[in-house]
Each structure stands twice: as structure tokens, then as C-alpha cells.
Structure 1
């Protein structure tokens, strides 16, 4: 078992505790599996990767399905049965499923049949994005939690993978609580170690480590999602190495390399989570738009043109952007009529030049500050109703804003606006609002 854990750790670093726990829970070949396991944590923390790797190494027959894909329970049941039975839909079998399954009773009966046909081998059902089960019938969650009990002699485990804690899954129907496994977010050092696995052979580890740390210093405040950070590191590495390839700098000349890559990082920062094209197309677009004004970026204009938001949602998004990139101490100066005059000292000017908020990334802000800015910049007299709050939730679901914390009822939620400047300027022009006038970086 120790050799197995070591092998998985070499393949998936920085998840030793979770790998050890899942391996101990699932046990060796022939051991009885637990009824259900609930794996949760933020996106990009390796939940699915670790779970499937452990199941594969232990030789457990696995059905891996995403709850987002299934619009009816019948489709989900049949997908699970097909994977566990080894049925592959193809032209040779006329795209016929293992069996027709319309209800829970048939599903349990067919699972027992598959288990008997497999010689009572150990089986697992992995339900990704399992928070979607809350929108299904009330008996679905208890069914999967007690599936081993219902199938009697079948050695099967159900593994829920979710971004939400299990407290959000409470149901009125009785069920057994699953074993809970938590995947915390990676620390900055963990992210560096993970990204170092993809180091090019041509360069030294110290050089690549310096580059990764430099990229994280820009993007880590905006996103902690490892796949997104990995994409940005790989995408911008050729531009970082360009002076070395041309013989204009050495590997140790970090300052020269930083000056060369800073403009590209600034452009890439505007497209975190908002890319509409592949990396190759993005690089070609960067070459075509080089030397043009920032608001001529094709992807941002296309995205804002496609997305039609309600009138108040546009002002809420503008208010969120201002709250993310303006320091809180400047709200009085920008949004109050009689704020008094403020003298700019030399120290303030130099401090502003040292840290550009556009490059550092958005900062979290409380909901109260967002609404205060919203009511200040909108001309109409708007009553704070449930409609306004629901539009904030809509912006979060569209990933134009992200919620930071707030799972605890005693902790007020905080948000960050993740859209780029080009996008927000297009939105501001739609409502005839001069956003540059209210931005700290341009004042």
C-alpha cells in the first residue's frame, strides 16, 4: 500500500494526505468498500484527478459521470450501467444501452446483476458536480448514499465530488452521512511545485522556478485555479525566453526578461477565464493587435457584444469593477460631491507608479461597498429590492464576478470583478458612463 501511495504522490504532488486517506478508506483488493464518500473543495484542487487515480491503481471498476450532463434521471442511470458493465455504444450494437432503466427499482436490480456478472468485483460510482443532485427528486441523494445497502451483496461505493460542503446537501429524507474528505486550496509554494513538473528540458530548474514565481506574482491574486495558472505559465513562456533565444540576455538577467514580458502579461491578465479562443488563436490575435489601442482587442469586444445584460446589471458590474480596482480609501473622493480637496504628495505619486492595480489584479470587496458605489453612479432613484440582489447573483453565475468566502452565515460575502478593462469600457459606453474618470489608476 505504501508503494501505491508513493507512486500516486509522484504523479500528483502536494496531495499526500488526501491520497493516503482515500487509499485507506478504499482498502486493498477484496476489502469491503464504504457506502459513500463525499469529496469537496474549490475548483482546481485535484479532487477528481486524485480520486480517479486512486481508483485506477486499486483496480476498482469505475463509472465516472458528471451530473451537469444529465437532464433526466433515466439518462444518468443508463450511463452508469453502461460504464460499469463495459457497454460501449457503437454502430455494431446499434447504439443500444446495457438495459433500459426508468426508475430506482430497476437501477438497483440491474446493479446487482452487473455485480454478479463481474464476480462480485469492487465497483465505484463517481458523481462529479454532485451539487446538481439537489435539484433532482428528494430521494436521489438518499438512494446513492445507501446504494450499497439497497444492492445487498454488491460491493459498491458512491463517491460524490462537489465544490460545496455537505452541509448544503441536507435533505428531509433520512440517509446515511457519507465519509467526508476535504481538499484545501493549494498554497503558493504548492502551485510552484506542481508547475515545475512541466519544466522544459532546455532550461535549468532555477530559471524556470524564477519564471513561475514571476507569473504567479501577477496572476495569483486573480485566480488560484491550477489549470488556469498552468495555461498562463505555458502560454507566456516563449515570450519570456525570447531575449535569451536572440542572444540579447542571459538566464540570470531577470530584470531584462521582466521588461520584455510585462506587456504580454498585462494583456493576458485581461483574459483570465474570459478566453473565447484556443491558445494558438490567442497568440495570433496578440500579434495582429500589437500596437493597437487596448479597447480594440477582438476577444473582449466580441464577448461584450454577444452578452446583453439588463440595465441595472451593467451598472452593478461597473460598480464591482470600481470596487475591485480602486482602493477603499478613495471612495469618498470619487463618489461624494463634497469630499474636500486632496493634495497629491510626491510619495503618493511614486507609490501609485510602483503598484498598478490593473497588473496586480482585482481585490475583494464587501456587498455593502458594491451597493454604495452602485447607488452613487446611477442617476435613477433605485429602491434596494430583491431584484437588485438577484442580479448580483446572476453576475456571479455568469462568472463576471466571483464570490470570495461567505459560506458561513456569520461571515458577510465578498466579491471580485474578474472582467478586463476593455470589456468594462464597452459596457460603460453602452450606458454612457465615463468609467475612466472614476478609476484610481487614471486619475
Structure 2
């Protein structure tokens, strides 16, 4: 077996910025020293807890079994998975195979204790690791305290609990060692991700045949490190603090960021000019959103550089043209008083339309504002009849509606996707004129929906919007 310092050096090189935690685990599970009955390894997600614990146990050559609690549906499933994992680990570490028939059932924690006593009787030290045990489904409240006592009942057994945030005295025991894995800092995250920089040039540049692989690796590391610093300062420190999210955000915008280098617009050392040219990538928070269908670079560039409505329409449903106007009309019918419809929607008296907030500008100047009114879009939506919806719809559409447009079918479709909900009895007809409706979306959605067809709904909303 290699000396201890050599093993520690190998683990520290494999898991940087975790020297203290590796040394603590290696001291507790050294092949030459006894181990505690139970320890708790805790820390936030993506801090290296599970990987480091597994690597330390593998390096120490200690027989062990790791049970991922997220894969166990019930408490009994966890117990049976524990017995199966212990059998597999013992079969792997010894030449003699264990007869599995007596261990086919494990219905409660007492049966698990009996099975483990029988399995580990006369064997060397064994470590049982419960990964994510604090998120176990349908776990009885006595599960963790009972498992923590197993090391006292079975002398050659040690338990490791890997959890996110430990509750006070959740094991109901004293003297249990706790090893904390703090979240990676900015410098630590950049140091870890800098060890595997992606390539700038997927293919060698044709105009520079003397560009060697050593130069390419040096340029990759130089640009990638500075790029990670910019990503952290702009996006990751507020919305992607764990190292996995940080890497995911950096990978998303890496290719658009180095595109000017690939096409020859900038050199590999023109980082400041590259940051100015690609600052829109760091100003937009779209990379923080996970999508099933990824957006192309062309769509991202046009959304940032052009002030059109194509980008806005991506945040709404892919609805037909008239359905968007129907939703705008429904929102106005829900939030505008019916008595003011003639003011906002009569095209013959458009020049007399009052300003937002009700009343003319001269009339408001003479009155003292005793009470500040709440904007109507912050209140609950009011029900409205179908005929009022259609009247507002015909008033706000900027052109005459073609007779082929099946408006009623589109209303039914909007009801089926729950954008419009009925406020009357559940058994009434969907298209009954007496049936009342209510919108099932908010101001941000309808404002974006209106702008996608060039309709500013705030100009028609009584009292304005905030």
C-alpha cells in the first residue's frame, strides 16, 4: 500500500480546495486506526461530499456500501436496498459468496440490525454510507437515531450520513463527529473549472499553420480563466452559486463569446475588446433559464440587438393572431369597469378619450388627491360576460375581422388551456352568452402578449398599470 502522504496528495490533486475535509476523513477511516460508530458529512449541493467520501473509502481499501436515498421510494425500500448493497460489497471483498436467502426480507429497522449483525459477524471493519438520507421519502422519525446506534450494537460497523443541512440533535446522540463541506468561493470555483478549459478553435485555423497545440492550450487556459471571472461577476454570483450551475452557465455562452476569435475579428489576447463586443451575453439572464429546445445564437443576438417583437413572443404561448387579441380583450373586460367601455373603446369619440386614471387632465388638476387609488391590475380579476368580451375584441382589433376567422373556436381553445376560466356553474355551456368568464393570467403576461402584436394594452386600462 502507498504511504499515507502519497495517497493524500493524489486525492488533493483530484479534488482541489478540499484538503482539510480529505485529511479529516482519511484520519477517521485510516486502515491503521479505529473509526467512530457514526459521523455526519454535511454541506450544500455540488460541494463534493459524495465523491470525496467514496474516493477516500476506495483509497483506504475499507469495505463499504453506499446507499443513495434518493433512489429509495419508501422506508422499507431503503432497508432492503441497504441489505442488498451490503451483500454485494461483502461478495466483492471476499472470495466466499454469502447465501442470500436468509436476507430476502427486511421489513423494519430491527430486522436490518439483525441482518447486519449476522452479515458482519467475524468480519473486518465495514462502512455503511447513507447519501442524502435527510431527503428520504416516507422515513419514520426514528430512522436516523436508530441507524446512528448501529455502530454501538455492531462493533465493526461505522455509519456515514451525508446530508445537506443538519437539524439540531437530529441523531439524539452526543459525540458524533461533523465534517462540513462549505460552498466553493469565487476563487475556488474558478480554480476548479480552470483545470479543464474548453477549446477556442474546434478545428486548427487555416490561416495560421504555425499555430501549435501548445499555443492553443495556453490560449484556451488564458481566455477561459478570464471568461469565468466575467461570468461569475455578471451572472453566477447571484443565480448560479454552486459549481455545477456555474459550469453550465459558462458552457452555454462560451461558443457565442469566442465566435469573434474563431472568425478572426479579434485575437486570443484581445479580451477587453471581446468583452465590449459581447457584453450583451452578460447583460441578459436568458442563459439562467433551462429550456427543452435550446435557442440558437441567431435568435439570441436578434433579441438583444433589435427592438422587435420576435423575442417577446417567446415568453408567451404560440397562439394565433386573433387569440392574442382575445386574451387582451378578456383582460380589459376583467379589469376595466363596464361603465367606462364607451370611453375607452368607442372609436367615434376617440379624441375625447380620457387619460389613464379616469377623468380629463384639466379635471384632475383641480381636484386634490386625497386617496391614492390602487392600480386595477393589482386587484383580483372580475368576471365578465361573453358578449362584452366580443365587443371589446372588435373594438381593439385595428382592422376589420375576416368572416372566416372562427372566433368561438378560439375561445373554446383558450378555455381548454386554462387561460380563460368560467366563473359560473361548472355544468353550463362554454359558449352560453349568459356564462361569465375570468382571466387566468397576470399583467406581465398580457403586456408581453399585446406587444407581440403591436398593441399597448396599458393605454386602454382604466387607472393605468404599475
Given the two structures, how large is their TM-score scaled by the length of structure 1?
0.59
Aligned twin of 1:66: 68
Question: CA contact under 8 A between 1:4 and 1:57: conserved in structure 2?
Answer: yes
Match of 2:397 in 1: none
Deviation track 1:200-239 (CA, whole Å, cap 9, x = no partner) reads 4634232221111111111222221100101122232222
Partner secondary structure for residue 238 of structure 2: coil
Mapping of 1:165-176 within 5 angstroms? 165-167=166-168, 170=170, 174-176=172-174
Residue 13 of structure 2 corresponds to 10
Say whether 1:291 aligns with 2:302. yes
* Alignment-derived partner of residue 193 in structure 2: 195
Alignment root-mean-square deviation, CA: 3.7
Measured in 1, the distance between the counterparts of 2:253 and 2:287 equals 13
1:270 aligns with 286
Confirm or deny: 8 A CA contact 1:26 1:33 kept in the other structure.
Answer: yes
Correspondence 1:86-105 to 2 at 5 A = 86=88, 99-105=104-110
Name the counterpart of 1:350. Answer: none
Q: Which has the larger radius of gyration?
A: 2
Match of 2:183 in 1: 185
Q: Deviations over 1:95-133 (max 9, x none)?
A: 9996211112221122123324xx623322222222235
- Give secondary structure in 2 for the equivalent of 1:40: strand
- The one of 235, 238, 241 equivalent to 1:221 is 238
How much does 1:428 deviate? 7.6
Aligned 1:392-411 pairs, distance under 5 A: none
In 1: Cα distance, 2:446 partner to 2:118 partner: 57
Contact 1:87 1:98 (C-alpha < 8 Å) held by counterparts = no
Distance 1:253 1:96, change over 3 A: farther
Q: What is the deviation of 1:179? A: 0.9
Cα distance 1:287–1:76, how it changes in 2: closer, same or farther (>3 A)? farther
- Equivalent position of 1:258 in the other structure: 275
**Structure 1 runs (4+) greater than 6 angstroms displaced:** 374-377, 427-430
Give the direction of change, closer, same or farther, for the CA distance of 1:206–1:288 in structure 2 (3 Å limit): closer
Aligned to 2:261: 244
Structure 1 position 60, deviation (Å): 2.4
Gaps of 5+ in 2: 91-99, 200-215, 304-309, 319-373, 381-441, 450-455, 459-465
Find 2:51's aligned residue among 24, 49, 52.
49
Within 5 Å, which residues of 2 pair with 1:3-402? Answer: 3-27=6-30, 29=31, 31-86=33-88, 99-116=104-121, 120-132=123-135, 136-150=139-153, 152-153=154-155, 155-167=156-168, 170=170, 174-200=172-198, 202-204=216-218, 205-219=221-235, 220-267=237-284, 269-272=285-288, 274-277=289-292, 281-282=293-294, 285-287=296-298, 291=302, 293-297=310-314, 378-379=378-379
- Judged with a 3 Å threshold, the aligned counterparts in structure 2 of structure 1 residues 136 and 251 are, in CA distance, closer, same or farther, namely same
Asked whether the equivalents of residues 239 and 260 of structure 1 are also in contact (C-alpha less than 8 Å), the reply is no
Give 2:350's aligned residue.
Answer: none
> In structure 2, what is the Cα distance between the partners aligned to 1:108 and 1:428?
62
Residue 223 of structure 2 contacts residue 271 of structure 2 at CA under 8 Å; is this kept in 1?
A: no
Q: Is the 8 A contact 2:62 2:125 kept in 1?
A: yes
The alpha-carbon distance between structure 1 residues 131 and 76, as it changes in their structure 2 partners (threshold 3 A), is same
Report the 3-state secondary structure (helix = DSSP H, G, I; strand = E; otherwise coil) of the residue aligned with 1:121: coil
Question: Is the 8 Å Cα contact of residues 65 and 127 (structure 1) preserved in structure 2?
Answer: yes
Change (3 A) 1:289 1:222: closer
Contact kept, 8 Å, 2:128 with 2:158, in 1: the verdict is: yes
Distance 1:375 1:37 in 2: 56
The answer as to whether partners of 1:78 and 1:97 remain within 8 angstroms in 2 is no
Change in 2 beyond 3 A, CA 1:289/1:26: same
- CA distance in structure 1 between the partners assigned to 2:379 and 2:84 by the alignment: 58
- Cα distance change of structure 1 residues 4 and 170 upon mapping to structure 2, 3 Å threshold: same
Number of aligned residue pairs: give it: 302
- Counterpart-to-counterpart distance in 1, 2:260 and 2:158: 54
- Whole-angstrom CA distance in 1 between matches of 2:225 and 2:181: 25
**Cα separation, partners in 2 of 1:218 and 1:3, compared to 1, 3 Å:** same
Q: Distance in 2 between matches of 1:177 and 1:134?
A: 27
Q: Is the 8 A contact 1:30 1:122 kept in 2?
A: no
**Conserved? CA contact 1:125–1:158, under 8 Å:** yes
Aligned to 2:61, the other structure's residue is in SS state: coil
In 2, distance between residues paired with 1:163 and 1:375? 43
The Cα of 1:263 is off from its aligned counterpart by: 3.2
Are the equivalent residues in 2 in contact too, given 1:223–1:229 (CA < 8 A)? yes
**Residues 25 and 212 of structure 1: CA distance in aligned 2, closer, same or farther (over 3 Å):** same
CA distance in 2, matches of 1:424, 1:156: 60
Residues 237 and 134 of structure 1: CA distance in aligned 2, closer, same or farther (over 3 Å): closer
Deviates more, 1:230-239 or 1:210-219: 230-239
Cα distance change on mapping 1:257 and 1:76 into 2, 3 Å: same
Residues 1:239 and 1:74: Cα distance change in structure 2 (over 3 Å): same
